[in-house]
Structures are given as structure tokens and as C-alpha cells.
């Protein structure tokens, strides 16, 4: 395509990735636009903002691709876009892997994503954590093979000394921060993913631990995986382990290529790296200088796209803040330079010089050979000027240092081969191969989950029982409370008298029992909210189904709920001279506890933190208590509030317990006139049915509420608990 541009004519040719590109991740024109509200002239207006803007490039197989940039550059957003963690329809562009176009679901099947936070169960050992990951991700292979794979991975990750150490948390001593990070990596690479994404893997680690983590990631890349990570201010030792570099600023591409080519890239821009300076850090500083100037980072992005040199900055513009990196600013609201004249490390900025002809608008000084891992140009530009014809020159592959699109010149040297996994001497027995059994199929034929629904449920149940055995406090605290309260109720209401006061005492006992069982599950709110983050991490790349997680959690708690209700029922039954079938009394308590547990789990899945969770549970408990029929019978509740009586999960166990006690013609006392008060008359006064089968309806309704809450819980997990940008 030819374009006229003043006295110049530009020919733009799409050359794509380098000719020697043998595999990896490719991305074209990635654009992610969100709507933000901005106050203009006292009015709030919606404005479309590109968090990512037409980013094109690639990440070679067998190499570590590091995504860097100033704060607010869009590094994590870019990583989420590549990993399929941005909602479908919000991200524009194309992502392909080894030549196959990938949808978000396909990327999840072939990749692993290590989050910045280490979300692991604290009371599992390193070996147990990796074994459960193997159970989830390796599918129906033999246990012996899984153990061998885990043992090999432990050795490769340098975790042999902490093999049987708990992961630990704030209250339990466990592995170190660097070891915990390596365990997190091991959990997600146990199945040998072809793609590995890491979000700030060195965050919060000391330099030695960070170096160790990146070394292990380097080994994983050399085994044949495509590794992409975000990293902030890596040490010089870590920079030596990075093969491919992508630098972003305000969602735009600033550089792409080998870290060794950063100096050449700066030279082509007209900036010389001062002696003793780190070229990558210097590039970040230059980006910030332009960001604070009137030109903005768009000038550097334009240089990457077209080869047009960015305008020279004034001395004031080239001053860099001495303390911290400036916060990201919205476009059109640039902060003026502060003129400190100091570097971040406190040293005075050396005078900036250029090594090219600054009077030339375009760069024609490509003299140095470079590593062609940067040779990704999507658009190659040839410029013809009236004074200098280039028609006689043959088309060559330019050797650019970024996906930059530089001017074609006879001074361009042939590019060198891009390094791939095959270019490195790696012993296949030293590192895990990414070709796990489930990855031998084509991406579109690979199963979404490694295990069947029943296998997942069994694995989750085994893990749940192990965690409960290691942390029995939650279960024992409930059992202790119900046991103590049972003894208190038995001694307080022991041997109720056969009069109206005795009837009132029994009614108070029944409603208190229902409330006690409802409140006993409230402590599950913080427990599940902590576990929810682990669920999101594990299911983000299809370790197991939300349905199997829901069912396994339900089955796991069934025996514990039965024990709690059984102990309480056994304590109070004889002491209060309760009548009716004991098994019905026990059943109502059991299903009531089950319904309550399901309700609390549902609320915990909706709220963002345990403080709001407690507030929501207490608020609903108060409403259910108010409308259950104890203060006002269902007949006396105003018509506009009767629906609250129907949805109150306290209504049905309360009425069921009363039916079991008073569906009889036996006399329980006398009114002031001396007339006998039978069980039937008590129920009639409370507007509760005296028919025998009605009490079984109450049990079915309670079970129905338990099932409904579990379904709601599943739906929230399945559709609304995704670590995904909208």
C-alpha cells in the first residue's frame, strides 16, 4: 500500500513475525477498552479509555518473555488478555498459539496462570499440595506415576528439604515465602502446560528468593514451554535470565525484543545510555520523561509503529523524579515535570546525548547486529525521498530491536536466528516436559477437565476430610457450643409442668433451639471466604468443576452435621419430657442444620469479605426469626408481610417441632377457667395444622430450601466467581 506524505512516499508491507519463528504465542492488535466516568465542567461524563491499544507481538517458545513498564502501564491487564481472563467481547484482537487461533477456553486448557498471591491450603504439606494438584490435573493415570511426577517436581523446584512441611499462614509456621511461591508454581505446572503465565512472581520476595524463583521458571521455559511473566524492577541477575522483553506504557507498546537490544533501540530513538546505567531502567526512565511531557508516550508508540523519531525533549522534560514513579495519569491530564533533576537512586542525571543525526526525522543508522527475537515487525515501512532513491535495493528482512518498524536501509544487517528451546543444551531428564498426557491431543480436542465428575468429587472429599482433621477447630467449636447449650437448656427447662406456663416454656425451648441451630453455622462465613480464593485459582484453568466442588462440600459436612444434631437431641429429649417420635425430632434438627449451612454458604459466596458476610447473615437471621410465627402466628401476620413467613427458613423447623410435640389429644394444662388444653388446641391456637402428614411436609420444605440454597451457591460459583475482567 502506497501513501503520499508531503515529499515522501511510504510503502507499508505486512511482514508478520520473523521467518525463523518456530512456535509460541502470537497476538495481533490486542485492544481492551473500558468506560470511565470523568468530571468535566461539573458534570460526570463517560469516556472510552483504552487500557490496551493495538498491541501486536509474540512470545517465543522455550524462552521467558518478560512484560515490563512503569506503574499503570497495563502489564497485568495485558497478561490477563493473553491468558483469556478478560470477558469475551471486551478484548479485541487475535491470539494464536503454535499457529492455532485460540479462544479463551482453549487457552485455559493448555495454560497455567500463577497469580501474584499464593492461594494455598495452609494445613497441607508441600507434598500433599502437589499430590492433590496431580490428582486434579493428570487425570486417570496410576497413583505410582503421579507420585513419581510429584517427587521429580519437588526435586526440580528445590523443595526437597521442605517436602513434609506445612504450607502455613499467619497462625501456623510453614515454608518460607520463596518456597511458597515455588509451590504455587508447581501446583500449576504439574500437568506440563504449554503456556505459563506468571503475574509478578517475585513480588514480596527478597533478592535471593526472587532469583531462585526465576531460575526455576527459566528451567521450565527451557523444557519447551512458552513462559510470559510480568515483573517490576528485576535485579541485574534476573535480567540475565530474561530472553524476550515487552515494555508497555499506558497500554501501548514501547519496545519488544531481546533485552540486549534495548541499548540499540534507545540509540535509534536518539538517546544514549550513560556509562554505568542499566539500559532497561534507562528506557523506563525515558518513557516516564515523555509521559510527563506534552508529547506523552504516544510519541514513543509512534516510533515503534512507524520509525518516526520522537521529538527531542527539553532539559526540564528530561528531569526524573527522585523518589517514586508517578502514578498513572489519564490521557489529557499530564502532570508537569517537577524538575528535581535527580534519578530514583539519588544520582544526578547525566547529560543526555544522541548518537544519530537528530535533524533527520527518520532513523537510517541501523549499524549494529541484533538478536532477531525482536524481529516481529507487523508493518515494514520503506520511504522514498526525492533526493535519495532506494528503488534499486532489494527488500531485506529488517533487524529491529522492538516490534519497531524501522526504515529500510542498506546498512541493515541480516538477522540472526531467534533462539528457541532446541537451541539450548538441556537434559530432558532434568526438567519436566510440557507434554503431559492430556496435552498430546490437538488443542480443540483436548478434554476440558482431566477427570470425571465422580473422580473430582472423590478427590475433593479426600482433601476436605484431611483439612478438617488438621483444623478441627471449626467443627469442634460448633459441637462444643451445641453440647453446652444442650445441657443448659436441659437444666433450665427440666421437667416442665403440665400447665399453661409449661406450655409457654416448651414454646420458648423450641424457638430457641431453632435459632441456636441457625446461628451455629455463622462461623463458616470466614472459612469459606478464605477458601473461595483457592477455588477461583484452581478452577480458572479447569482443575475441576464447580458442581463437583459443591457436591463434595455438601457430602463432607453431612456426617458432622448429623453428629452435632444427634448430641443436642440426646441431651434435651429426656430432660424436657418431649413426646412424638424421637427420630422425627432428630431429623428436623438435622435438616434444619443442613438448610442453615447451605444458606450461610450461599451468602458467603456472594459477599466480598467476611465482615459483610456476618452482617448479611445476622440481618437475615433477625428477619427470619421475626416472621417465623413465634411472635405473631402466620394467621395474624399482615397480608403484605405473609411472604416473609413463607421464605423464612425458621418457620418450617419451628412448626415441625411443635407438630411433633402437640399432634395429640393429650392434655398439657388448663386455662384460667379450668378447661383442659390438649395438644390439638395448642396447634389450632397457633394456626398450625393438626394433620399428621403435614409435619412431613415441613421436612420436605426444609430439604427443599437446603437444595435451593446449594443450587444458588453453585450458580454463583459457576458464573460469578471468575477471576476475570469484564
Mean pLDDT, range 707-714, rounded to an integer: 96
Q: Are 402 and 304 in contact (CB under 8 A)?
A: yes
Q: Give the least confident one: 123-127, 361-365, 577-581.
A: 361-365
Is 80 exceeded by the pLDDT of residue 347?
Answer: no
Residue 108: which pLDDT band, with cuts at 50, 70 and 90? confident
pLDDT surpassing 70 at residue 409: no
Burial class (CB in 10 A: 0-12, 13-18, 19+), 566: middle
Q: What is the pLDDT at residue 643?
A: 92
> What are the pLDDT digits (tens) for 273-292?
998 889 999 999 999 999 98
Domain boundaries, the chain: 24-37+45-117+193-306, 453-720
For the segment 234-249, the average pLDDT, to the nearest whole number, is 92
Q: Does 324 or 230 have the greater pLDDT score?
A: 230
Alpha-carbon torsion, ordered 95, 99, 100, 105, to 10 deg? -40
Q: Report the alpha-carbon distance of residue 464 to residue 457 in Å, rounded.
A: 10
d(CA 174, CA 171): 9
The pLDDT of residue 446: 66
| Residue 317: per-residue pLDDT | 60
- In the chain, the percentage of residues whose pLDDT exceeds 90 is 45
Q: Judge whether residue 582 has pLDDT over 90.
A: yes
For the segment 46-64, what is each residue's pLDDT rounded down to a tens digit? 888 889 999 999 999 999 9
Cα 663 to Cα 679: distance, rounded to the nearest angstrom = 6
Greatest CA separation for the chain: 123
Tens digits of residue pLDDT in 448-492: 888 999 999 999 999 999 999 998 888 888 899 999 999 999 999
Segment 24-40 mean pLDDT: 87
Q: pLDDT-derived band of residue 529, with 50, 70 and 90 as boundaries?
A: confident
Q: What is the pLDDT of residue 354?
A: 34
The answer on pLDDT for 427 being more than 60 is: no
CATH topology classification for 24-37+45-117+193-306:
Rossmann fold (3.40.50)
- Given a cut of 70, is residue 558 above it in pLDDT? yes
pLDDT at 701: 95
The tens digit of pLDDT for each residue in 681-696 reads 999 988 898 888 899 9
Per-residue model confidence (pLDDT) at position 716? 93
The answer to whether 72 and 250 are in contact (CB under 8 A) is yes
pLDDT value at residue 134 = 95
Mean pLDDT value of segment 123-149: 93
Q: What is the pLDDT of residue 316?
A: 63
pLDDT at 200: 92
In this predicted structure, which of 159-168, 169-178, 411-420, 477-486 has the lowest mean pLDDT?
411-420
* Residue 474 · residue 524 · CB < 8 Å: yes
Q: What is the pLDDT of residue 723?
A: 64
Residue 260 has pLDDT above 50, yes or no: yes
pLDDT of residue 690: 87
The pLDDT assigned to 332 comes to 39
**Confidence band (pLDDT; 50, 70, 90) for 38?**
confident
Query: Residue 30: what pLDDT?
Result: 92
pLDDT at 445: 60
- Which carries the bigger pLDDT value, residue 696 or residue 346? 696
Segment holding 211, helix H or strand E: helix 207-222
Given a cut of 50, whether residue 380 has pLDDT beyond it is: no
Is pLDDT of 572 > 90?
yes
Check if the beta carbon of residue 51 is closer than 8 Å to that of residue 92: no
Alpha helix (H) ranges present in 293-392?
Answer: 298-306
Average pLDDT over residues 159-182: 90
CA distance linking residue 50 with residue 719, whole number of Å:
26
Q: Is the pLDDT of residue 35 over 90?
A: no
Taking residues 442-452, report their average pLDDT: 74
Predicted local distance difference test score (pLDDT) of residue 261: 92
Give the range among 239-253, 527-541, 575-589 with minimum mean pLDDT: 527-541
Amino acid at each position: 500500500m502506497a501513501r503520499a506524505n508531503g515529499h515522501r512516499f511510504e510503502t507499508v508491507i505486512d511482514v508478520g513475525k520473523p521467518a525463523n519463528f518456530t512456535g509460541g504465542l502470537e497476538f495481533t492488535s490486542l485492544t481492551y477498552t473500558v468506560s470511565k466516568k470523568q468530571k468535566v465542567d461539573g458534570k460526570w461524563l463517560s469516556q472510552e479509555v483504552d487500557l490496551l491499544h493495538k498491541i501486536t507481538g509474540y512470545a517465543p517458545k522455550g524462552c521467558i518473555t518478560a512484560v515490563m513498564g512503569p506503574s499503570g502501564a497495563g502489564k497485568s491487564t495485558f497478561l490477563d488478555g493473553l491468558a483469556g481472563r478478560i470477558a469475551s467481547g471486551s478484548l479485541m484482537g487475535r491470539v494464536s498459539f503454535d499457529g492455532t487461533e485460540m479462544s479463551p477456553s482453549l487457552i485455559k486448557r493448555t495454560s497455567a496462570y500463577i497469580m501474584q498471591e499464593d492461594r494455598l491450603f495452609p494445613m497441607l504439606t508441600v507434598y500433599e499440595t502437589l499430590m492433590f494438584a496431580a490428582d486434579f490435573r493428570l487425570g486417570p493415570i496410576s497413583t505410582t506415576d503421579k507420585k513419581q511426577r510429584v517427587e521429580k517436581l519437588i526435586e526440580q523446584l528445590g523443595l526437597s528439604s521442605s517436602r513434609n512441611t506445612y504450607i502455613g499462614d499467619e497462625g501456623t509456621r510453614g515454608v518460607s515465602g520463596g518456597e511458597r511461591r515455588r509451590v504455587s508454581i508447581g501446583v500449576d505446572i504439574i500437568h506440563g502446560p504449554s503456556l505459563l503465565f506468571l503475574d509478578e512472581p517475585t513480588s514480596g520476595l527478597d533478592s535471593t528468593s526472587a532469583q531462585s524463583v526465576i531460575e526455576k521458571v527459566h528451567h521450565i521455559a527451557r523444557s519447551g514451554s512458552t513462559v510470559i511473566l510480568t515483573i517490576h524492577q528485576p535485579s541485574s541477575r534476573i535480567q540475565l535470565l530474561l530472553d524476550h522483553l515487552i515494555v508497555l506504557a499506558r497500554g501501548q507498546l514501547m519496545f519488544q525484543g531481546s533485552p540486549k537490544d534495548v541499548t540499540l533501540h534507545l540509540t535509534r530513538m536518539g538517546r544514549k545510555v550513560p556509562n554505568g546505567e542499566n539500559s532497561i531502567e534507562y528506557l523506563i526512565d525515558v518513557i516516564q520523561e515523555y509521559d510527563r511531557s506534552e508529547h506523552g508516550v504516544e510519541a514513543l508508540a509512534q516510533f515503534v509503529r512507524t520509525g518516526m523519531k520522537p521529538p527531542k525533549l527539553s532539559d526540564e522534560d528530561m528531569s526524573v523524579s527522585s523518589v517514586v514513579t508517578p502514578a498513572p495519569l489519564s490521557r489529557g491530564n499530564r502532570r508537569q515535570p517537577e524538575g528535581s533533576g535527580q534519578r530514583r537512586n539519588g544520582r544526578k542525571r547525566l547529560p543526555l546525548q544522541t548518537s544519530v543525526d537528530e535533524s533527520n526525522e527518520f532513523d537510517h543508522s541501523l549499524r549494529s547486529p541484533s538478536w532477531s527475537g525482536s524481529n516481529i515487525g507487523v508493518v515494514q515501512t520503506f520511504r522514498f525521498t526525492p533526493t535519495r532513491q532506494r528503488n534499486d535495493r532489494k527488500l531485506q528482512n529488517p533487524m529491529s530491536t522492538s516490534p519497531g518498524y524501522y526504515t529500510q536501509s542498506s546498512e541493515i544487517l541480516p538477522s540472526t536466528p531467534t533462539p528457541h528451546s532446541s537451541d539450548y543444551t538441556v537434559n530432558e531428564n532434568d526438567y519436566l516436559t510440557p507434554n503431559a498426557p492430556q496435552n498430546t491431543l490437538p488443542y480443540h480436542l483436548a478434554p476440558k477437565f482431566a477427570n470425571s465428575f465422580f473422580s473430582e468429587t472423590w478427590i475433593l472429599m479426600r482433601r476436605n476430610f484431611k483439612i478438617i482433621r488438621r483444623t478441627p477447630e471449626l467443627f469442634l467449636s460448633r459441637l462444643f457450643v451445641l453440647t453446652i447449650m444442650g445441657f443448659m437448656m436441659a437444666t433450665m427447662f427440666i421437667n416442665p409442668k403440665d400447665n399453661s406456663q409449661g406450655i409457654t416454656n416448651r414454646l420458648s425451648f423450641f424457638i430457641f433451639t431453632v435459632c441456636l441451630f441457625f446461628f451455629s453455622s455463622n462461623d463458616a462465613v470466614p472459612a469459606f471466604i478464605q477458601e473461595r480464593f483457592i477455588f477461583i485459582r484452581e478452577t480458572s484453568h479447569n482443575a475441576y468443576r464447580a458442581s463437583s466442588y459443591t457436591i463434595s462440600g455438601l457430602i463432607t459436612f453431612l456426617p458432622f452435621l448429623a453428629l452435632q444434631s444427634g448430641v443436642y437431641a440426646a441431651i434435651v429429649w429426656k430432660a424436657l419430657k418431649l413426646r412424638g417420635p424421637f427420630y422425627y425430632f432428630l431429623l428436623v434438627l438435622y435438616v434444619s442444620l443442613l438448610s442453615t449451612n447451605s444458606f450461610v454458604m450461599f451468602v458467603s459466596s456472594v459477599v466480598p469479605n467476611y465482615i459483610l458476610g456476618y452482617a448479611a447473615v445476622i440481618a437475615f437471621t433477625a428477619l427470619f426469626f421475626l416472621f417465623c410465627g413465634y411472635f405473631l402466628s402466620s394467621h395474624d401476620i399482615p397480608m403484605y408481610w405473609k411472604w416473609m413467613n413463607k421464605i423464612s427458613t425458621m418457620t418450617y423447623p419451628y412448626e415441625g417441632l411443635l407438630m411433633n410435640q402437640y399432634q395429640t389429644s393429650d392434655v398439657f394444662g388448663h386455662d384460667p377457667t379450668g378447661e383442659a388444653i390438649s395438644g390439638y388446641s395448642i396447634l389450632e391456637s397457633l394456626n398450625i395444622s393438626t394433620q399428621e402428614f403435614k409435619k412431613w411436609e415441613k421436612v420436605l420444605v426444609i430439604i427443599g430450601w437446603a437444595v435451593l440454597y446449594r443450587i444458588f451457591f453453585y450458580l454463583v460459583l459457576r458464573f460469578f466467581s471468575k477471576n476475570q475482567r469484564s
